[in-house]
Amino acid sequence: MADLPSEKRVSMPKPSNKTGAGRGRRGVTILAAAIAVVAGATATILMWPQPPRAPAVATSPWAPASAPAQTAPPARTVPRLPSLDNRRSVVVLPFANLGDPGQAYFVDGIAEDILTALTHFDALLPIAWNSGLAHRGDADRSGIVRELGARYVLEGGVNKAGDRLQMTARLIDAAPGNAVWEERYDAPLGDIFAIQDDIVRRIAAATAANARGTEFDRARQKRAEKVEAYDLTLQARALFADIDKEAMTEARLLLARAVQADPFYAPAYVWLARVHREFANNPWNKEYGGIDGFLQGEILLARAIDMQPNNALAHAARAATLSVLGRHQEALAEGERALALGANDAEVLTLVGNQFRLYGRHDGAIELQVRAMRLDPHYPPSAAALLGRLYVVTSDLVKASDAFAECRSRDPEERHCLFDLASVQAQLGRMDEARVALADLLRLEPAASIGEYRNLPNRWRDPEDESRMVEGLRKAGLPE
């Protein structure tokens, strides 16, 4: 049994039986409670003295320091990122929940946090959580290794009961199929962060022979003073599997409680800012919709970065938020910092890549998107669709058609991909393929038209790109 350093012991409330997939529909009750709790937590956050922040001076190599703060910078190349070649790939599978089914969110959160910590090691190629999650309950380890291209597999089990934690972890080397190491932990719940750090340290020692001390420092878990804050944050994270008004309202409530439980636990602020972003992008009500959601999110992310400067996701999310707020030089500096910290994190790469797309830096956006997709073999259809649109604006229609075809293969009913695939195939003169894509679209949506395509959101920033795609659809035979 692992010997862990002593940690501050915290008494825990009775574990919640609520999960993202199985939460009850409490509607108005949740909304009223969330407003009351969030109002108190937000007021506390806004009244805290903010540490002095440096002036918005551009440090990015592709953004000139003399550019005005409110001026979008000229297009340059993406900073050089470490190669993903010749790395030792590792997949973290969802741990088995050996206790209360209502603690599934906690078990998943532990495994996902271990994976996030592994992204800080340059010798490793950590396969994204989304891809590992797709193999929940899959006993065919050799099939998982073949499909994901993994050299190492981490698996385990967790039993959380009251203020005790029993946990097993095993690292398998897929080449010989043997366990490199395995460990059993039986400790107070307050030792969870030390356990996670111990597992990460053992994986790095076994797989990344040249791991540096700075990598271990960046990978070390951010400890919550009260485990309650960590538990509440994991509950909120689970709700992002089902993004709607009720889920985000409940997540807001949980995260506000996490902030109140531990005002210095940075991850709670990052996820609370993400809730604000969802409300801003999906204005389900006037109170949280619109630009105010981004303004609130920026305050929360700045606070999180002050408390945990090595949180790559916080930097990437703040970069995206600052772009919306028109603070472009700060946004680019945050994007660069996110890449420096999270070059192996598929979610970070996607967020910064989308920022590059908005700034017209299409080659850089393609590089980041391709990298993210390599790290996440089970990437969603939307990732292939975004890559296809990036190839369209760089006039590489052959690669665009391949990307849109991959989007269709992952979700044959994704109508946006079918629109784009039909157009690109027609532009390439592949009329048979264009008509097949169009027939698939019309079978799903008989009333599909060019007018509808023009009204699809977030498609083309350049009117010329839209005009070319529209002409391709006309050539394929789509009615006006």
Question: In which domain, by residue range, is 459 found?
Answer: 380-480
In a domain, 233, yes or no: no
In a domain, 292, yes or no: no
In a domain, 1, yes or no: no
Instruction: Give the residue-averaged pLDDT of 411-436.
Output: 94
Instruction: Give the residue-averaged pLDDT of 10-14.
Output: 31
Q: pLDDT tens digits, residue range 240-279? A: 888 888 999 999 999 999 999 999 999 999 999 999 988 8
In a domain, 238, yes or no: no
- Checking if the pLDDT of 406 tops 60, the result is yes
Cβ contacts of residue 318 below 8 Å, gap of 6+?
A: 273, 298, 301, 302, 305, 331, 334
In a domain, 181, yes or no: yes
Q: pLDDT tens digits, residue range 147-182? A: 888 888 999 999 998 889 999 999 998 877 788 899
pLDDT of the residue at 39: 52
Q: pLDDT tens digits, residue range 215-228? A: 556 666 667 778 89
- Six-digit token string for 467: 């005009």
The mean predicted confidence, pLDDT, of the chain is: 80
In a domain, 124, yes or no: yes
Percent of the chain at pLDDT > 90 equals 43
- Picking from 176, 193, 219, the residue at the C-terminal end of a domain is 219
- Checking if the pLDDT of 204 tops 90, the result is no
In a domain, 169, yes or no: yes
pLDDT of the residue at 70: 41
As for how many domains the chain has, the answer is 2
* Whole-angstrom distance, CA of residue 70 vs CA of residue 477: 44
Q: pLDDT tens digits, residue range 436-471? A: 999 999 999 999 999 989 887 667 888 899 999 999
Look up the CATH number of the domain holding residue 175.
3.40.50.10610
Global confidence as pTM: 0.74
- Picking from 187, 219, 251, the residue at the C-terminal end of a domain is 219
Instruction: Give the residue-averaged pLDDT of 20-26.
Output: 42
- Picking from 167, 191, 219, the residue at the C-terminal end of a domain is 219
pLDDT of the residue at 239: 92
Look up the CATH number of the domain holding residue 392.
1.25.40.10
- Checking if the pLDDT of 26 tops 50, the result is no
Instruction: Give the residue-averaged pLDDT of 16-27.
Output: 42
pLDDT of the residue at 7: 35
In a domain, 347, yes or no: no
